[in-house]
């Protein structure tokens, strides 16, 4: 499938209350210095996983992929489903051999028993359900070499691998370039982390016991985030090689990126919110991250505080500046939220997704 360059840019302004969505190795909310001040940060990897988890409710399992070391077990399950007459031990042997032929290193922990005794990949491996089927069929047939196995591993990437790519250190020929890029989300303003000192009471402690059963602290912050992602439609269409699947993948990614949220400390803070504003643009020349709008930190509104109104205003102004000085206007654009007049057509989320799907479908 060949087509001209086409990019879908997704820009989101989202206010998040006290939360700790994405922690570093010390348990502190991740941060970054931008524009000379400390910002709240949520890593791209964290939000991509949130999107992938949401995909499970949007796609059939056969359209998705799994990132795991237990790839041999995936193939074993498919072998036994295709041919129930094959014993588990024989299926393990066949699955291990076919992955060895692919050049993916596996290892067996001799101390483990049962299912855990099945060899595992030495590193996490991203494999679609279709690719597991491809390998299972080859393993059952028994007639394969390295070339045919690698061809099977590079066919049927599934939505997630086509979007987010795959890197295989053992053999770069199994790599798949990502069609989607996701930026680290950062606050549009300066942020200082705070601490929640908490105590827990032992429900069975004597009534005259005033002490706590447990004490501790949780670090958190609150912020108005700028989030950005872009999809190279031409690359995604080439990888998926199906018009309807490509159109659905783009629409569902945009939906999931807008509505999903990393699950870090959600039980503690119940911080799940929806965006204050969304701006989706279709571009031919190049994708554009509008984070430059916030290099100078947004200040609280004079009429009572808050950062969302000022953040939306700065994003709109920066988009207009970029279009005037550097690039052409988007071929099509839609927005959700107040204060976005002039940036494409106003709509709700479902209207936006319907219009986006129709636009993409007509151009693939």
Give tens-digit pLDDT for 74-95.
Answer: 999 999 999 999 999 999 999 9
Checking if the pLDDT of 353 tops 80, the result is yes
Token digits for 130? 């279709």
Q: How far is CA 358 from CA 167, 235, 310, 340, 364, in A?
A: 32, 18, 33, 23, 10
Checking if the pLDDT of 102 tops 60, the result is yes
> How do residues 124-158 score in pLDDT, each as one tens digit?
999 999 999 999 999 999 999 999 999 999 999 99
Checking if the pLDDT of 115 tops 70, the result is no
Cα(327)–Cα(306) distance, rounded to whole angstroms? 31
Assign 110 a pLDDT band (cuts: 50, 70, 90).
Answer: low
Asked if residues 254 and 333 have their Cβ atoms less than 8 Å apart, the reply is no
DSSP string, 327-364: SPPPSEEEEESTT-TTSSEE--HHHHHHHHHHHHHTT-
Percentage of the residues of the chain whose pLDDT score is greater than 70: 97
Report, as an integer, the average pLDDT of 195-207: 85
Q: Which runs of consecutive H residues, i.e. helices, occur in 241-298?
A: 243-259, 266-269
> How do residues 41-73 score in pLDDT, each as one tens digit?
999 999 999 999 999 999 999 999 999 999 999
Assign 211 a pLDDT band (cuts: 50, 70, 90).
Answer: confident
Assign 208 a pLDDT band (cuts: 50, 70, 90).
Answer: confident
Closest C-alpha among 347, 250, 267, 190 to residue 51: 250
């Amino acid at each position: 499938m060949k087509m001209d360059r086409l990019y879908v840019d997704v820009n989101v302004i989202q206010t998040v209350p006290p939360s700790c969505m994405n922690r570093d190795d010390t348990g502190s909310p991740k941060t970054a210095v931008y524009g000379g001040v400390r910002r709240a940060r949520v890593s791209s990897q964290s939000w991509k996983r949130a999107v992938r988890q949401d995909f499970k409710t949007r796609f059939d399992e056969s359209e998705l992929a799994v990132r795991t070391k237990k790839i041999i077990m995936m193939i074993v399950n498919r072998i036994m489903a295709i041919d129930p007459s094959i014993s588990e031990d024989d299926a393990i042997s066949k699955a291990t051999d076919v992955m060895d032929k692919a050049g993916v290193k596996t290892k067996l922990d001799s101390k483990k028993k049962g299912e855990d005794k099945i060899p595992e990949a030495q590193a996490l491996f991203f494999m679609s359900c279709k690719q597991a089927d491809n390998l299972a069929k080859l393993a059952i047939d028994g007639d394969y070499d390295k070339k045919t196995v690698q061809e099977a591993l590079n066919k049927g990437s599934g939505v997630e691998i086509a979007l987010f790519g795959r890197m295989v250190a053992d053999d770069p020929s199994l790599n798949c370039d990502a069609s989607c890029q996701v930026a680290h989300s950062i606050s549009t303003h300066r942020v200082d982390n705070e601490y929640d000192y908490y105590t827990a009471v032992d429900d069975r402690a004597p009534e005259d016991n005033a002490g706590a059963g447990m004490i501790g602290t949780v670090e958190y912050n609150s912020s108005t985030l700028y989030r950005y992602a872009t999809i190279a439609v031409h690359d995604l269409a080439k990888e998926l090689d199906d018009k309807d699947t490509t159109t659905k993948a783009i629409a569902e990614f945009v939906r999931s990126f807008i509505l999903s949220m990393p699950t870090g400390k959600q039980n503690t803070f119940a911080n799940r919110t929806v965006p204050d504003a969304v701006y989706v643009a279709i571009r031919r020349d190049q994708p554009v991250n509008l984070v430059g709008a916030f290099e100078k930190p947004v200040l609280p509104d004079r009429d009572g505080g808050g950062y969302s109104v000022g953040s939306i205003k700065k994003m709109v102004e920066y988009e207009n500046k970029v279009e005037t000085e550097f690039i052409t206007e988007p071929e099509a654009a839609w927005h959700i939220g107040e204060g976005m007049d002039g940036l494409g057509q106003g709509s709700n989320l479902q209207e936006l997704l319907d219009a986006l799907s129709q636009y993409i479908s007509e151009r693939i």
